[in-house]
Amino acid sequence: MKKLLFIVLLSLGLNVWADRIKDLASVAAGRSNQLIGYGLVVGLQGTGDGTDVAFTAKSVRAMLSRLGVGLDGALSDFEQGSALTRIDVKNIAAVMVTAELPGFSKPGQKIDVNVSSIGKASSLRGGTLLLTSLRGVDGDVYGVAQGALTATGVDAGAAGTKVSIGVPTAARIPAGATVEKIVENPYELAESVVMNVREADFTTTHSIVDAINRQFGVGVARAIDPMSLAIKAPEDASQRVAFLSMVENLQVMPGEPPARVVINSRTGTVVISRNVRVTAAAVAHGTISVAVAVTNEVSQPAPMSQGQTTPVQNAEVSVSEAKNPMFLFQPGVDLRQIVDAVNQVGATPSALIAILEALKSSGSLRAELIVI
């Protein structure tokens, strides 16, 4: 009975720590692609580029010309340039439009776009993006974007006081672009489907290959390198989708991540992974405080002495050093012991960062130290 209970608990533990393949790897043919375009935002309340940005005025003139609106007739080049500077574009802003085209996207699908000012516009709030072509790295148009902007940033000021919340010169249009072209990929043509592990790891890739072969037969999956594996899939499209659905939902035990200590020096955040170890080391950390007290006094002359009143400044300097005890790391201590030892001496996040950097420099910290 005890043996059976142990097996049941062990199986439950495996299910708790196991991950789905879809959370560890993705189909290589389903990679996303970046799109970019140049456009104009109209309808701003005087927060546009203004007449100082020449390319905004040129873009407006070119757009109106395509719509059959002539601005300067048969003026010379110099006169055209003068006319351009007279175009008032306070309510218009030149922007760059970016989007991420998901894998397997089909024409007619909607994707989100980001809009950012590239001129002197102070805010895009309340604007509308005009029809903008979105191109890929090959120069082809894969989508078009248009619509009202959603800008959460606010920038207001009056009487010498200014308040800024967020970034008013950047906005977003949810589902603001329509896909117009399919990105060719080898998914339907290749005999095998290639999957890429999100983080290259020999153990994780081996576990995925072993789980697939154990479920569907030896030779169905094979490892290409620590990052990729190839899976033999049915040729029929519907069967291939059903097969990959079963593959994605298989449970595997991923490899342990490498020992890392990540430090954000700006916020004082320290993240220590569970595999961090420390060899034998003694650590003492203390701070020296210097306090300077200034007393301002006035020296008065004696009566009938013909002296002058003189201000006198007295300074008192005191130095104090905290008596923090030294703590000892035994060889091979784990994460919990490191945290307990640091907490016992009351170290602040900045002090913890200094201790970890010193341990790394001494060669006692068995982990990769990453400072961001």
pLDDT at 269: 77
| Identity of the highest mean pLDDT range in 153-162, 261-270, 282-291 | 261-270
Do residues 270 and 359 both lie within one domain? yes
- Give the pTM: 0.68
Do residues 43 and 150 both lie within one domain? yes
| Number of separate domains in the chain | 3
Residue 203 lies in a domain: yes
DSSP 267-313: TTEEEE-TT-EE-SEEE----EEEEEEEEEEEEPPPTTS----EEEE
Amino acid at 268: G
When pLDDT is averaged across residues 344-365 and rounded to a whole number, the result is: 74
Do residues 232 and 112 both lie within one domain? no
Do residues 47 and 123 both lie within one domain? yes
pLDDT at 287: 59
**Which domain, by its residues, includes 340?**
260-286+323-371
Q: What sign does the CA torsion over 80, 85, 86, 89 have?
A: positive
Directed axis angle between helix 77-85 and helix 54-66, to 10°? 110
The residue behind tokens 């757009």 is 63
| Identity of the highest mean pLDDT range in 53-62, 130-139, 314-323, 324-333 | 130-139
Do residues 147 and 211 both lie within one domain? no
Do residues 42 and 175 both lie within one domain? yes
Do residues 53 and 170 both lie within one domain? yes
Return the closest-CA partner of residue 83 out of 93, 97, 96, 73.
73
Q: Is 97 a residue whose pLDDT tops 90? A: yes
Do residues 175 and 201 both lie within one domain? no
Contact 123, 15 (CB under 8 A): no
Do residues 273 and 335 both lie within one domain? yes
Residue 9 lies in a domain: no
pLDDT at 74: 42
Residue 270 lies in a domain: yes
**Least confident range of 49-58, 284-293, 308-317:** 284-293
